[in-house]
């Protein structure tokens, strides 16, 4: 929970806020929410301006924070799929509300 006074606001879990505020993170959550299970190449096609390394970093952070689940299949070529976890679905529901607000106020 955020605590605020006139002179100072503090978010106790700044690591999670840093992850969520990183470029492309919320877009990734929205894309996976819209498509269910998504492969890395599909994510790349939705975010053509993002580098492969940036997407990998963002996805790893979301997996580490239990927002996304990552499934790697032992195939050739390798196949990796991402889907929202329970916490990720909860975040996506809240994100939809925020996006609606942004759309109404843009």
pLDDT in tens, the chain (106 residues): 566 666 777 666 678 888 888 999 999 999 999 999 999 999 999 999 999 999 999 999 999 999 999 999 999 988 999 999 999 999 999 998 888 898 899 8
What's the predicted TM-score (pTM) here? 0.83
Structural domains of the chain, with CATH: 16-99 (1.10.10.10)
Rounded CA separation 40/52 (Å): 9
Residue of 78, 58, 79, 81 lying closest to 69 (CA atoms): 81
3-state secondary structure 4-58: ECCCCEECCCHHHHHHHHCCCHHHHHHHHHHHCCEEHHHHHHHCCCCCHHHHHHH
Asked whether 24 and 55 are in contact (CB, 8 A), the reply is yes
What was the pLDDT predicted at 9? 72
What was the pLDDT predicted at 2? 60
Rounded CA separation 62/57 (Å): 9
Rounded CA separation 83/69 (Å): 5
Dihedral (Cα; 70, 74, 77, 78), 10-degree rounding: 20
């Amino acid at each position: 929970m955020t605590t605020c006074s006139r002179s100072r606001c503090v978010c106790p879990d700044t690591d999670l806020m840093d992850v969520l505020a990183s470029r492309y993170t919320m877009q990734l959550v929205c894309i996976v929410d819209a498509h269910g299970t998504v492969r890395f190449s599909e994510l790349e096609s939705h975010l053509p301006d993002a580098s492969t390394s940036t997407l990998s970093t963002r996805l790893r952070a979301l997996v580490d924070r239990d927002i996304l689940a990552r499934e790697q299949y032992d195939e050739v070529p390798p196949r990796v799929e991402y889907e929202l976890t329970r916490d990720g679905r909860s975040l996506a529901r809240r994100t939809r509300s925020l996006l609606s607000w942004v759309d109404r106020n843009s």
